[in-house]
Amino acid sequence: MNGRPLPQVFLGILIVAAGVVALLGQLGLVEVSLGEIISDWWPMVIVAVGLAALISVPRAWLGPTLVLLVGALLQLSELDLVDIDLWGFIWPIAIILVGLSLLTRMGTRGEDDEVVNSAVVWWGSQRRTTSQRFRGGSLTAIMGGIEVDLRGAGIVDRAEVAVFTWWGGVEIKVPPTWRVEVSGLPVLGGWDDKTAHTAGPDAPVLVVHVTAIMGGLEIKN
């Protein structure tokens, strides 16, 4: 579909389907109230965003999984299948996320890492590698920020980085000799490729898959 990423296509189909149902209701062809559907099933939008994000950046699974969990709990509550106080779940989930993000920061952090992984919740992280065989990694920023400096690194043909940001920001610095390709899913957020775009077609390629939910990614030299 015009080369659009699968998560974007998925959400587009969902929105079009909602519009078709509304139109058929207005024409009297179906007995359905879009208002009732929205009031009962609105958390499915959150579930859809989480699922699309998980498809887009599976290696940065922490953030999309959280979105899916929140959406699923809200939907079960709306359908009266469970009786829960969602906000009562927020602080235990927050503690779990902080613990998981701490665990992801306990790995190797040398300046010759071929893979750079980082997940932050409510704080920041700075990573740098000069590996000449950089292969990629995953970056998750939830209400926090991550800075990754790759200007001294090298790529053999191709490397891939998965980025998930939710109310946070990620900055990636790359050498001007790299060619950067960015695709993903923006949800009230987005990305900005500020690289010089002077690398030739045979230059090493950094492929960035990003999901930005009310957050952003910046790539520059």
CA distance 66 to 172: 24
Q: Quick one: average pLDDT of 26-30?
A: 74
CA distance 14 to 48: 8
User: For position 2, what pLDDT does the model report?
Assistant: 45
Q: What is the pTM of this model?
A: 0.74
Least reliable range by pLDDT among 34-48, 57-71, 84-98? 84-98
Q: Where are the domains of the chain?
A: 6-102, 109-220
How many CB atoms are closer than 10 A to CB 155? Answer: 22
From the DSSP assignment, how many helices (H) and strands (E) are in the chain?
A: 5, 10
Q: Quick one: average pLDDT of 160-188?
A: 92
- The yes-or-no verdict on residue 4 having pLDDT over 60 is no
User: For position 119, what pLDDT does the model report?
Assistant: 83
Task: List the beta bridge partners of residue 145.
Answer: 124, 169
Q: Which tokens sit at 177?
A: 């000799």
User: For position 110, what pLDDT does the model report?
Assistant: 67
pLDDT tens string 97-153: 667 666 655 445 667 889 998 888 878 889 999 999 999 999 989 888 999 999 999
User: For position 52, what pLDDT does the model report?
Assistant: 79
What percent of the chain shows pLDDT beyond 90?
31
Q: Quick one: average pLDDT of 20-41?
A: 74
Q: Which tokens sit at 157?
A: 């043909």
How many CB atoms are closer than 10 A to CB 65? Answer: 16
